[in-house]
């Protein structure tokens, strides 16, 4: 996600209105560890687009009947899964790069096996014919 997505700009009242929840609900979610808004030097909460996406996920899960502890566990597992997917993609990219580098290092002066076999058979025929 880009830097702007995590830029905390919304005060709690605006954020609550955008999300359609009461500010106290946001405080409860923060207290339970589901949301982590940034704080100004004066201690005021500031929410970002990433916080809004997290809140939407919380709402989806609670609407499906998941309690807050379940939501917390699900979101933690989803974050871990995202991290593993990113690492897997990076590892696959690295592997493709290594394979490509290996292919670039192949010796171009070597004769392919199918041609080598034909040359060997021709040489044997000449040897027998020369005897």
* Residue whose token pair is 């955008």: 18
- 130, pLDDT greater than 90: no
What are the structural domains of the chain?
1-65 (1.10.1660.10), 76-131 (no CATH)
Q: How many CA atoms lie within 13 Å of 49's alpha carbon, on the beta-carbon side?
A: 7
pLDDT in tens, 93-105: 999 999 998 888 8
Helix H or strand E segment including 17 = helix 12-19
Q: Using CA atoms of 8, 49, 24, 38 in order, give the dihedral in degrees to the nearest 10.
A: -20
Nearest to 10 by CA among 32, 26, 33: 26
The dihedral over CA atoms of 56, 61, 62, 65, expressed in degrees to the nearest 10, equals 160
Cα–Cα distance measured from residue 85 to residue 82, given in angstroms and rounded to the nearest whole number: 5
- Per residue in 8-61, pLDDT (tens digit) is 789 999 999 999 999 999 999 999 999 999 999 999 999 999 999 999 999 999
Strand stretches in 29-89, DSSP E: 38-39, 45-46
Q: Tell me the whole-structure pTM to 2 decimals.
A: 0.67
Q: According to DSSP H, which parts of the chain are helical?
A: 12-19, 23-31, 49-63, 68-104, 113-130
């Amino acid at each position: 996600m880009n830097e702007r997505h995590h830029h905390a700009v919304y005060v709690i009242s605006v954020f609550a209105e955008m999300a359609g929840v009461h500010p106290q609900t946001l405080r409860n979610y923060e207290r339970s560890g589901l949301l982590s808004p940034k704080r100004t030097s004066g201690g005021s909460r500031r929410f970002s687009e990433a916080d809004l996406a997290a809140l939407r996920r919380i709402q989806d899960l609670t609407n499906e009947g998941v309690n807050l502890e379940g939501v917390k566990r699900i979101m933690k597992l989803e974050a871990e899964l995202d991290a593993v997917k990113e690492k897997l993609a990076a590892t696959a990219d690295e592997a493709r790069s290594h394979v490509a580098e290996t292919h670039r290092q192949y010796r171009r002066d070597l004769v392919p096996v199918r041609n080598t076999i034909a040359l060997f058979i021709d040489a044997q025929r000449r040897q027998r014919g020369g005897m």
